[in-house]
Structure 1
Amino acid sequence: MSGNPVTTFIILGAVLNAMLGVALLLLWRQSPRQQHAKYWGLSWIFLSGALILGLGLPPEPDGSLVHDTQVFLAALCAMASTLLRIVGARSYRELPWQWRTGLHWFFGAMMLIVGLAKLDHSYGIVLAAVLLGLGALWCARCLWRGGSKADKWVAIGFMTAGLANFMTPFFDPFGRSVEAHLLGLSTQTALSLGLILLSVIRAHQETRQQAERFFRLAEHSLQGQLVIQNGRLKYANPAALAIYGVTNHMPLAAHSSLVERIVPEDERAALEQRHQHVVSDPLARIEWEGPRLTMDGRHIYVRGLSSHIEWDGAPAELMVMLDDSSRQRAVDELKRQALHDELTDLPNRNYAVERLRQITPRGAHPFALISADLDRFQLVNENLGHDMGDALLRAVARRLTQELPVTATVCRLGEDQFLVLLEGIGEPAEVQHHVQHLLDTLQAPFSLAGAELYAHMSIGVALFPRDGLDAPTLLRAADAAMHRAKSRAGAACVFFESAMRTDSRARLESEQAIGRAIALHEFVLEFQPKFQAHSRVLCGFEALVRWERPGMGRISPADFVPAAERTGQIKALGGLILDLAMRQLTEWQLSHGRLVPVAVNVSPLQFEDAAFAAGLLGELKSRKLPAEALEIEITETAAIAHLDQVLPQLQHLRTAGVLSALDDFGTGQSSLTLLRNLPISTMKLDRSMIEPLPEHQAAAVVKVAAALGQALQLNIVAEGVETEAQAQSAEALGCTQLQGYLLGKPLSADAAGALLSASTGTPRGDSMPTQPPSV
Structure 2
Amino acid sequence: MTSLMLIGSGLNAMLGIALLLLWRQDPRFVHVRLWGYSWILLSTGLTLGIALAPEQSLTWQDDLQALAASCSIMGSLMLLVAGARVYRNLSWPRKFWLPAFVLMMVSVASLARVDHRHAVLLATVYLVTGSWACAWWMGQGGNAGERFVALCFVAVGLVHGSSPMLHPLGRSNITHTLGLFVQTTLSLGLILLSVARAHAETRRQNERFTQLTQHSLQGLVVLQDHRAVYANPAAMSMFGYQPGEAALLLQRPVEVLSELVPMEQQASARERHARVLADPQARIEWEATRLTREGQLIHVRGLSSHLEWDGAPAELLVMVDDSSRQRAVDALRRQALHDELTDLPNRNFAVARLRELTRTGGAPFALISADVDRFQLINESLGHAVGDALLHSVARRLCRQLPVQAMLMRLGEDQFLVLLEEVAERREVQPVLDQILLLLEQPFEVDGEALFVHLSMGVARFPEDGEDVDSLLRAADSAMHRAKQRAGSACEFFEPRMNVRSRARLEAEQSLGRAIVEREFLLEYQPKFRADSRKLCGFEALVRWERPGLGRVSPADFVPAAERTGQISALGQLIIDTATQQLRDWLDRWGLLVPVAVNVSPLQFDDIGFADRLLARLDELGLPHQSLEIEITETAAIGHLGRVLPQLQRLRKAGVLCSMDDFGTGQSSLTMLRQLPISTMKLDRSMIDPLPEPQASAIVKATCALGRSLSLEVVAEGVENEQQAQAARELGCTQLQGYHLSRPLGAVAAGELLGRSLA
Q: TM-score, normalised by structure 1?
A: 0.91
| Cα offset, 1:122, TM superposition | 4.3
CA pair 273-589 structure 1, distance change in 2 beyond 3 A: farther
1:211 to 189, 206, 209: 206
Note the residue ranges of structure 2 that are not aligned, 5 or more in a row.
none
| Cα offset, 1:24, TM superposition | 1.6
| Cα offset, 1:704, TM superposition | 4.8
| Aligned residue runs from structure 1 range 129-278, under 5 A | 129-170=124-165, 172-176=167-171, 180-247=175-242, 249-250=244-245, 251=247, 252-253=249-250, 254=252, 256-257=254-255, 260-278=258-276
Pair 1:103 & 2:114 matched: no
Q: Is the 8 A contact 1:410 1:419 kept in 2?
A: yes
CA pair 197-682 structure 1, distance change in 2 beyond 3 A: same
2:611 to 610, 613, 618: 613
Q: Is the 8 A contact 1:371 1:419 kept in 2?
A: yes
| Aligned residue runs from structure 1 range 577-588, under 5 A | 577-588=575-586
1:632 to 630, 633, 650: 630
Alpha-carbon distance in 1 for matches of 2:170, 2:749 = 140
2:601 paired residue number? 603
Deviations 1:333-364 (A, max 9, x none): 22222222221111111111122122221111
Task: Name the amino acid aligned to 2:370.
Answer: A
| Cα offset, 1:203, TM superposition | 0.5
CA pair 15-591 structure 1, distance change in 2 beyond 3 A: farther
| Cα offset, 1:608, TM superposition | 3.1
Q: Tell me, what secondary structure is at the counterpart of 2:340?
A: coil
1:510 paired residue number? 508
1:432 to 430, 433, 443: 430
CA pair 516-287 structure 1, distance change in 2 beyond 3 A: farther
2:574 paired residue number? 576
| Aligned residue runs from structure 1 range 675-686, under 5 A | 675-686=673-684
Task: Name the amino acid aligned to 1:225.
Answer: L
Q: Is the 8 A contact 1:68 1:118 kept in 2?
A: no
Q: Tell me, what secondary structure is at the counterpart of 1:95?
A: coil
1:293 to 286, 291, 294: 291
1:24 paired residue number? 19
CA pair 737-317 structure 1, distance change in 2 beyond 3 A: same
Note the residue ranges of structure 1 that are not aligned, 5 or more in a row.
762-775
Alpha-carbon distance in 2 for matches of 1:53, 1:486 = 115
| Cα offset, 1:724, TM superposition | 5.0
Alpha-carbon distance in 2 for matches of 1:158, 1:278 = 52
Q: Tell me, what secondary structure is at the counterpart of 2:758?
A: coil
Instruction: Select between 356-365 and 219-228 the one with higher mean Cα deviation.
Output: 219-228
Q: Identity over aligned residues, as a percent?
A: 59
2:420 paired residue number? 422
2:45 to 42, 50, 60: 50
1:344 paired residue number? 342
Q: Is the 8 A contact 1:687 1:718 kept in 2?
A: yes
Deviations 1:536-580 (A, max 9, x none): 433222122223434434322122111122233323322332233
CA pair 15-597 structure 1, distance change in 2 beyond 3 A: farther
For these two proteins, the number of residue pairs brought into alignment is 756
Q: Tell me, what secondary structure is at the counterpart of 2:244?
A: coil
Q: Tell me, what secondary structure is at the counterpart of 1:625?
A: coil
| Aligned residue runs from structure 1 range 495-506, under 5 A | 495-506=493-504
| Cα offset, 1:703, TM superposition | 4.8
Deviations 1:279-324 (A, max 9, x none): 3333333333333332223333333333333222222222233333
| Cα offset, 1:248, TM superposition | 5.5
Q: Is the 8 A contact 1:401 1:410 kept in 2?
A: yes
Q: Is the 8 A contact 1:59 1:70 kept in 2?
A: no
| Aligned residue runs from structure 1 range 52-91, under 5 A | 52-58=47-53, 66-91=61-86
| Cα offset, 1:209, TM superposition | 0.7
Q: Is the 8 A contact 2:366 2:423 kept in 1?
A: yes
Q: Tell me, what secondary structure is at the counterpart of 2:711?
A: coil
2:317 paired residue number? 319
Alpha-carbon distance in 2 for matches of 1:520, 1:275 = 76
| Cα offset, 1:259, TM superposition | 5.6
Q: Is the 8 A contact 1:59 1:71 kept in 2?
A: no
1:773 paired residue number? none
Instruction: Select between 671-680 and 432-441 the one with higher mean Cα deviation.
Output: 671-680
Q: CA RMSD in A?
A: 2.7
Q: Is the 8 A contact 2:57 2:63 kept in 1?
A: no
Task: Name the amino acid aligned to 2:14.
Answer: M
Task: Name the amino acid aligned to 2:438.
Answer: D
1:766 paired residue number? none
Pair 1:41 & 2:36 matched: yes
Instruction: Select between 534-543 and 231-240 the one with higher mean Cα deviation.
Output: 534-543
CA pair 724-126 structure 1, distance change in 2 beyond 3 A: same
Alpha-carbon distance in 2 for matches of 1:98, 1:449 = 89
Alpha-carbon distance in 2 for matches of 1:95, 1:127 = 27
Instruction: Select between 324-333 and 195-204 the one with higher mean Cα deviation.
Output: 324-333
Q: Is the 8 A contact 1:233 1:259 kept in 2?
A: no
Deviations 1:719-749 (A, max 9, x none): 3345555545544554333333444433343
Alpha-carbon distance in 2 for matches of 1:701, 1:675 = 17
Pair 1:443 & 2:448 matched: no
| Aligned residue runs from structure 1 range 364-375, under 5 A | 364-375=362-373
CA pair 580-18 structure 1, distance change in 2 beyond 3 A: farther
Q: Is the 8 A contact 1:721 1:741 kept in 2?
A: yes
Q: Tell me, what secondary structure is at the counterpart of 1:288?
A: strand
| Cα offset, 1:90, TM superposition | 1.3
Alpha-carbon distance in 1 for matches of 2:55, 2:553 = 124
CA pair 752-60 structure 1, distance change in 2 beyond 3 A: farther
Alpha-carbon distance in 1 for matches of 2:516, 2:128 = 109
Instruction: Select between 534-543 and 460-469 the one with higher mean Cα deviation.
Output: 534-543
Q: Is the 8 A contact 2:516 2:570 kept in 1?
A: yes
Instruction: Select between 632-641 and 750-759 the one with higher mean Cα deviation.
Output: 750-759
Q: Is the 8 A contact 2:457 2:483 kept in 1?
A: yes
Deviations 1:680-725 (A, max 9, x none): 2222233344445566765565555445434443323333345555
| Cα offset, 1:672, TM superposition | 4.5
| Cα offset, 1:150, TM superposition | 1.0
Q: Is the 8 A contact 1:686 1:718 kept in 2?
A: yes
Q: Is the 8 A contact 1:233 1:256 kept in 2?
A: yes
Q: Is the 8 A contact 2:238 2:292 kept in 1?
A: yes
Q: Tell me, what secondary structure is at the counterpart of 2:351?
A: helix
Instruction: Select between 729-738 and 236-245 the one with higher mean Cα deviation.
Output: 729-738
| Aligned residue runs from structure 1 range 381-530, under 5 A | 381-530=379-528
Q: Is the 8 A contact 1:60 1:67 kept in 2?
A: no
1:128 paired residue number? 123
| Cα offset, 1:403, TM superposition | 0.3
Task: Name the amino acid aligned to 2:119.
Answer: G
Task: Name the amino acid aligned to 2:380.
Answer: E
Deviations 1:239-297 (A, max 9, x none): 22222221252223246245643332233333333333333333333333333332223
Q: Tell me, what secondary structure is at the counterpart of 1:297?
A: coil
Alpha-carbon distance in 1 for matches of 2:59, 2:659 = 139
Alpha-carbon distance in 2 for matches of 1:588, 1:710 = 31
Q: Is the 8 A contact 2:512 2:562 kept in 1?
A: yes
Q: Is the 8 A contact 1:245 1:295 kept in 2?
A: yes
Instruction: Select between 677-686 and 729-738 the one with higher mean Cα deviation.
Output: 729-738
1:558 to 552, 556, 559: 556
Deviations 1:164-210 (A, max 9, x none): 33334455544455654444333323322221111111011011011
Q: Is the 8 A contact 2:227 2:253 kept in 1?
A: no
